[in-house]
Amino acid sequence: MGARVIDGRPIAGELKKRVASEVEGLAARGVRPGLATVLVGEDYAARAYERRVGGLAAELGCRYVCERLPREAEEADVLAVVGKLNADPRVSGILVLRPLPGHISEPAVFSALDPLKDIEAVHPVNAGLLALGRPRYVPSTPAACFYLLDRYLERSGRPPEEFYPRSTVVVVGRSNNVGKPAVSLGFARGAAVISCDANAYRAGRLREHTLKADALIVAAGVAGLIDESYVREGVIAVDVGINPVADPGGSGRTLLVGDLDFGSVARKAEALTPVPGGVGPITDVWLLKNTVAAGRGLAFRAQSGGERGAPGISGGYGGQ
Ligand code: NAD
């Protein structure tokens, strides 16, 4: 296995330092960004994510508001919480955790978010701006995929601006929060982009698409979906999937694995990301980066009595 394993933790660590210094800069101007999470029900992965970003907000000196509703909450209850957070000047960024229970409409809840506080770009206006290549916020998971890819390319002596225009990026999974925005970020870098979902798999045609990838991003949520027969020699593979599986060693513990069959893909890949420890840590920090950008934008607007809705406050670090 000659592939390089791209460790996301040091990359996340560097990003965190930059976010921390932004928070300090804002504190000196009397501005304290605030993150709010909204969790409906008890989903295990959502709870874990809530805990992580709440802890990170505290560590970075941001405010943190944790809103929890029971699974049987009505849509109106969730909308009321969103309305309250929209109106709260101490909250700059709102994350509504998925999955929402089936009786609650995700589009209705996402459309109720103040677009300026919609740090995951799930409001139709923000999703549209991203699709047009003018993002207000770049959603954290696809941003993390490309941030990691870009840093890896730079460190291996290939400027991203030269790599992507000559390359094919294949994105497996087409959700609104990961797969579709990842496609937009691939376009923004000038790559040829192929997007495929479960339909391609069912039609028996997924492999013919993934075999074209110079860079492969897999976000299907199917443990071990992609083995070496799906990738070409020298691919750079980014694994977004987080799948709980029973420990095959029989310990009775639950382990988290990705969508790549890691050992098998590593036989052909130039580089690949592990699960856990790849995309995930960067995703967490990126969410706070967006929270801080939102805090800065809201404070600036409050000071200048300024325009609402101007795109482009997501800040740089080469991640868009
Ligand atoms: P989702 O269920 O909303 O969407 C899954 C997508 O994958 C769909 O488009 C579906 O058609 C496609 N798909 C399913 N089976 C497939 C198959 N056999 N072949 C090809 N495509 C297939 O999921 P999501 O929210 O996009 O998340 C995907 C995975 O990423 C999950 O495992 C989730 O836990 C994980 N995730 C990780 C992070 C992170 O930071 N690492 C963040 C968000 C989600």
The Cα angle at residue 216 between residues 215 and 218, in degrees rounded to 5: 155
CA pair distance 227, 87, nearest whole angstrom: 48
In short, whether 12's Cβ falls inside 6 Å of ligand 1 is: no
pLDDT by residue (tens digit) across 189-203? Answer: 999 999 999 999 999
Helix (H) or strand (E) holding 239: strand 236-239
For the CA of 179, the nearest atom of ligand 1: 26
Question: What is the pLDDT confidence band of residue 307, given thresholds at 50, 70 and 90?
Answer: low
* Residue 312 pLDDT: 47
Residue 256 near residue 242 (C-beta atoms within 8 A): yes
Dihedral over alpha carbons 140, 83, 92, 60 (to 10 degrees)? -70
- Count other Cβ atoms within 10 Å, centred on residue 252: 7
Q: What is the mean pLDDT of the chain?
A: 94
C-alpha 172 – ligand 1 centre gap (Å): 8
How far, in Å, from the CA of 259 to the mean position of ligand 1? 9
CA of residue 200 relative to chain centroid, distance? 23
Is residue 48 within 8 A of residue 11, CB to CB? The reply is no
CA distance 189 to 149: 12
Quote the pLDDT of residue 1: 57
Q: Which residue has the higher pLDDT, 303 or 133?
A: 133
The interaxial angle of helices 279-304 and 8-28, nearest 10 deg, is: 20
Q: What is the pLDDT of residues 226-241, one digit of tens each?
A: 999 999 999 999 999 9
Instruction: Assess whether the C-beta atom of 240 lies below 6 angstroms from ligand 1.
Output: yes
Asked if the peptide bond before residue 276 counts as cis, ω within 30 degrees of 0, the response is yes
Given this model, what pLDDT does residue 300 score?
85
Question: Which of 141, 195, 290 maximizes ligand 1 atoms within 8 Å of its Cβ, making it the mutation to test the pocket?
Answer: 141
* Structure confidence by residue, pLDDT tens digits, 60-97: 999 999 999 999 999 999 999 999 999 999 999 999 99
Q: Is the pLDDT of residue 116 over 80?
A: yes
Output the residue whose Cα is nearest ligand 1's atom 8: 173
Q: How far, in Å, CA of 112 to CA of 58, rounded?
A: 26
Q: What is the pTM of this model?
A: 0.95
Give percent of the chain above pLDDT 90: 91
Write the pLDDT tens digit of every residue in 243-279: 999 998 999 998 999 999 999 999 999 999 999 999 9
Residue 284 CA: nearest ligand 1 atom is 40
Per-residue pLDDT band for 305 (boundaries 50, 70, 90) equals: confident
pLDDT digits (tens, 9 = 90+) for 92-112: 999 999 999 999 999 999 999
What span, in angstroms and rounded, lies between the C-alpha atoms of 188 and 195? 15
Q: Give the lowest-confidence range in 73-82, 147-156, 297-306.
A: 297-306
Amino acid identity of 255? L
pLDDT at 52 over 60: yes
Residue 15 CA to ligand 1 center (angstroms) comes to: 25
Closest listed residue to residue 282, CA positions, set 64, 6, 98:
6
Q: pLDDT tens for residues 9-42?
A: 999 999 999 999 999 999 999 999 999 999 999 9
In the predicted structure, residue 55 carries a pLDDT above the cut 90 = yes
Backbone angles phi, psi at 77, to 5 degrees: -65, -45
